[in-house]
Structure 1
């Protein structure tokens, strides 16, 4: 295959033919064409099937297929062409999402009913959300029988998030988000993005299913996987309006890629080139670890923090179990190849991050600097961890399946009471309903001093009424504050007490002796572990630390001087080197 000039890209001409004829194609650039027919070219079975579906018996079709139009053996060409994919997808006439052939166990009628169901959900939601401005759509006939409805849901599940690999590959992200005209193709059936877009609620995917009976709803969620499907489609809908690099990294971290570097490069096309300057070069000569380091640095310097830097990416649980994470990757670096087995709910951490201001008053003139070995950052030492409680360990994202946090919380309370050396009730049976003093401090810790108020759609600082709900739950295991709410806040966190008596929630890997720091460019505190003797040149004047994770420390989340007992200008600032 002849090399491309910098300004060129190939496209595929699918030559006409009948169903059983051999596939014949041309590869063309803007100046000449390359004959492919008659020459061996290995393609995947899935690509063969969709090309057979798309081929016309009477005329040629112009297509762009990355598997055939980019020389996958030429890394220089790959780097250049991957940078063009944003332009290719954004300017194409139409993008086809191939969901595969209909499963042998699914009848053609059942597959058709599955697509009809999505169109019906969209039409119903438009009527509900717009106050019946349009005629109420006619209920599909197959929904009159639960047997036929269940069959349609089983069919839908085969192309949904639970079973279809398309939803889990990283290169499909650009394919879904960038084109203006998007068509989902499943066997002989097709469904346009415009037809199902009204079914996708920005507030919550389940809202679109309110018109259904309880049995239909349970079937759609349990058998059809509709909730997960609509949720993933909602991500696409939001991304079409534009996402920050932080949001896209949370949404599509750990997507499947044959080359792990593509877990970064496939996302760069969602943003303009100057947004992620290190990563958008798509340099395949770099090793995987350097690509992840560059991406994390791009996140630190993205958006309005391009000049000063913001350590927000360090809340994405970079530290992973040795069996899960990428070997030899710096602990502060976001591993895009995999997600932690025990994450701390990155979406919640990200939303909370902007409400905290632990670094209030600290100068941000000395921006974070990558030395080639470590991340050099200024910060202030708060204290060291002395006492550790049990971790509240959960897997997955479904809070209703989390273990009850009540017993774990009560064990934390016993440690806290003992450290305070106050004769506070271990069983929490006599906690005053006002929840003042140490009780209020403990309850605020459990809530992260923030709660989401759905009526006004805002996060606000915890008030006394919410603290009383915590006390009620700890007393009885019941109340308005559900175990799911606490579970999401405490997920995979470990309670700790510092030498000076501060209480906090940190990474599961936190150990006694770990230090709590407020870094000048981070809005939340972090736990760090002394690395031992300095390994960096003395002129850098840095102290070596291993990054452990972000943490919540009661009393300092809104500034080190928030308690009125300290003056930020009097605090000693030091330069650290994070590994």
Structure 2
């Protein structure tokens, strides 16, 4: 449920978030008085002057250096047997630091290890990097002994090595004995403290290829940051493109291939790692590095967020894969959120927000957040302890049990589940499989500081306590069956480009637009929402109930439910284009009315199956001929003076909220949105302590949990009756 407009709106709204320099009001942009009408065709109203500052996290206090660095402790051999043992005393635990000795470019890399106390203040940098392929190795000399490390780490050490003085670093692959599981279990919880107390976190993206795409990307983002600092967030890219002003602000021309470097930068392996989240969020200050190019994390964040959907519509080819883009934007938001209100940090929200991140060890999809949670909240993390002696399955079950027991709510049951053929073997259905790549979100989705995106209370959670009893690997809940599913619609899946990797999806924009039309046509047919005069069980018009369902009954501040319904009617009901005022201020022009009628007639003529075929054809064409918006980038866009009734954003918002879900209809005529695995015969349950209805499937004497669901008309406790609740077991 993450999209750039909502992130920008949230960032601008929050005190202490991303603000832009200088402290004086921003300069008047050249496009300030160009247009008389806004994007909706209405007269513009003057906006108050805004002041901008840069502050993603509260400014870190200056580090007081109390101790000089101790002498190195020579290590005879850095194998499992020869690492000098670290103290595990709870009061004064130890960790290792690495002294990187000076040298020239061609000199062998030499370093020394020494032990440091957790309560000491040391001047060191922490390295954040991607280990890289384990089979490609290099050698460094540590305490005079050759040590094999990955080639990417060797490149980072070579780049950060100084010519005339030593540099002190913390590097996980060397400072932690990776062969000693007991030491890993002791050191992993300390990593949050290590990164938070580092002078600087050095992010190593890897050596730049010969054509220097990463350096070009960092330079573009730096210029975008400067442009935002000068004019504020609302950059008018169409104006700058039309008047050829990009070059005046240090940016390439819109048709320049240099813009593609942004995609290469965000798709570097570093951005896909799970461990980078705590490494960046806890940093006092962080810098991105590639070869000899660097950029502060603050400037990178502003530059990425400045690339608005308006600009991306001109250059859709620079948009990274869905997973890379989602992870990058979510990482920026987490960095900002953790600095604004760290005491409200929520572990389950951290796990779900960063579910697309990857880890070589599946257990780290949970363990990588423990240090971050404890360091920012000062609280022990729900009793979850890093245990590398257990299997990933056992780690996920233990984490789920602890989260339910400690939080006293059942939000974790809403985390989207994978189908059986893709789920971790023998994992109970009530336990989320964090190792699986998934872009879907729960209806109880929260930002990492515990703010719910939607407020549902289907089981009167405010007055009814949760009931959850663990019996082995099963979970006993209390609830009742509300209704049974009789019809199920198509899956709201992402339409990907041809030849796209499943764990790095790239959206096909033209195919997705046609597929969206097909999807909602199918859903309208399944729910009988186009039947004139049909009433919903609660008495409202069934078409209005359908619109409220696909929007989760939550409408953006830029449009109302009535405006969204009117847009869908004009697209899917041809006769609606002939209705509405023909005269007066709010009239629709004959040309616009004709276009709407043609579009609606074509959609109804093709039907869902024909639109699917058209979407497949568009995807194949795009794989041969990339589709850009170059045809109109230099032409002034004219906006009609009449009020615009067609709003493309209502389709984008609905697709975002329904991603990886299916529409369903129950025996009683209720319309809902269920998980991807929903099918006829599944049951909708209302569970004590659960904010949303759950979709369950009979499995002998027990039940299989499929995920949460939205059922219009019962989401605020209208149908919940505690007296009907009975025990049921989830396997």
TM-score (norm 2): 0.63
Aligned to 2:209: 103
C-alpha distance in structure 1 between counterparts of 2:550 and 2:467, whole Å: 32
Q: Give yes or no for contact 1:402–1:487 (8 Å, CA) kept in 2.
A: no
| Residue 453 of structure 1, aligned match among 524, 540, 557 | 557
- Partner residue in 2 for 1:420: none
Could you tell me how far apart the structure 2 residues matched to 1:156 and 1:222 are? 10
Whole-angstrom distance in 1 between the partners of 2:400 and 2:392: 13
Structure 1 residues 445 and 86, CA gap change in structure 2 (3 angstroms): same
The answer (yes or no) to whether the contact 1:362–1:568 under 8 Å persists in 2 is: no
Equivalent residue, structure 2, for 1:2? 84
* CA deviation after TM superposition for structure 1 residue 16, in Å: 2.2
Mapped contact 1:404–1:487 kept (Cα < 8 A): no
Q: 1:57 to 1:362 in 2, by over 3 A?
A: closer
Measure, in 2, the Cα distance between the counterparts of 1:116 and 1:274.
40
Residues 173-216 of structure 1: CA deviation (Å, up to 9, x unaligned): 22211110211111012222244454465xxx434x98xxx6x9
Counterpart CA distance in 1 for 2:461 and 2:286 is 48
- How big is the shift at 1:239? 4.3
Bigger shift: residues 263-272 or 495-504: 495-504
Distance of aligned partners of 1:322 and 1:551 in 2 relative to their CA distance in 1, 3 Å threshold = same
Deviation at 1:532, TM superposition (A): 0.9
Task: Please report how far the alpha carbon of residue 464 of structure 1 lies from its aligned counterpart in structure 2 after TM superposition.
Answer: 4.1
Could you say which residue in structure 2 is the equivalent of 1:421? none
Aligned to 2:176: 70
Find the counterpart in structure 1 of residue 647 from structure 2.
Answer: 480
Does residue 577 (structure 1) correspond to residue 680 (structure 2)? The answer is no
Specify the alignment match of 2:691 in structure 1. 523
1:27 Cα deviation (Å)? 1.0
Distance, in Å, in 2 between the alignment partners of 1:372 and 1:43 is 42
CA contact (8 A) 1:153 1:224 kept: no
Q: Which residue of 2 aligns with 1:278?
A: 383
Residue from 545, 568, 571 that aligns with 2:721: 568
Q: CA deviation at 1:365?
A: 3.5
**Partner Cα separation in structure 1 for residue 521 and residue 313 of structure 2:** 37
2:98 corresponding residue in structure 1: 12
Residues in 1 aligned to 2:491 and 2:550: alpha-carbon distance in whole angstroms: 13
How far the C-alpha of 1:414 sits from its partner, in A, is: 4.5
Q: Per-residue deviation at 1:553?
A: 1.3
Match of 1:314 in 2: 413
Q: What's 2:427 paired with? A: 329
Question: What does 1:44-443 align with in structure 2 at a 5 Å threshold?
Answer: 44-104=150-210, 106-107=211-212, 112-129=215-232, 143=250, 146=253, 150-158=256-264, 160-162=265-267, 164-199=268-303, 201=305, 205-207=306-308, 218-219=314-315, 222-223=317-318, 225=320, 228=325, 231=329, 234-241=332-339, 242=342, 243-272=345-374, 274=379, 276-279=381-384, 281-300=385-404, 306=407, 309-317=408-416, 319-340=417-438, 344-346=440-442, 350=446, 354-360=454-460, 364-395=464-495, 400=509, 401=512, 403-417=514-528, 436-443=540-547
Residues 531 and 26 (structure 1 numbering): CA distance in 2 closer, same or farther, change over 3 Å? same
Contact 2:181/2:389 (<8 A) preserved? yes
Asked if 1:469 is matched to 2:567, the reply is yes
1:359 is displaced (CA, Å) by 0.8
CA shift for structure 1 position 275? 5.3
Report what 1:507 is aligned to. 675
Distance verdict in 2 for CA 1:504–1:73, change over 3 Å: same
Q: CA deviation at 1:519?
A: 1.0
Contact 2:530/2:543 (8 A) holds in 1: no
Q: Over the residues paired in the alignment, what is the CA RMSD in angstroms?
A: 3.5
Matches of 2:208 and 2:420, distance apart in 1: 40
Q: Distance in 2 between matches of 1:347 and 1:234?
A: 22
SS at match of 1:290: helix
Contact 2:686 2:693 in 1 (8 A): yes
How many correspondences in the alignment?
Answer: 515
> For residues 528-543 of structure 1, what are the structure 2 equivalents within 5 Å?
528-533=696-701
Which residue in the other structure is 2:18 paired with? none
Uncovered stretches (5+) of structure 1, i.e. residues with no partner:
133-137, 418-423, 456-461, 534-543, 562-566
Query: Which has the bigger relative contact order, CA under 8 A and spacing at least 6?
Result: 2
The 8 Å contact of residues 489 and 526 in structure 2, kept in 1 or not, is answered as: yes
The gaps in structure 2 that reach 5 residues or longer are 1-82, 118-140, 236-244, 496-504, 575-598, 601-645
Superposed displacement of residue 407, structure 1: 4.5
Measure, in 2, the Cα distance between the counterparts of 1:58 and 1:547: 62
Structure 1 392/26 Cα, relative in aligned 2: closer, same or farther at 3 Å? closer
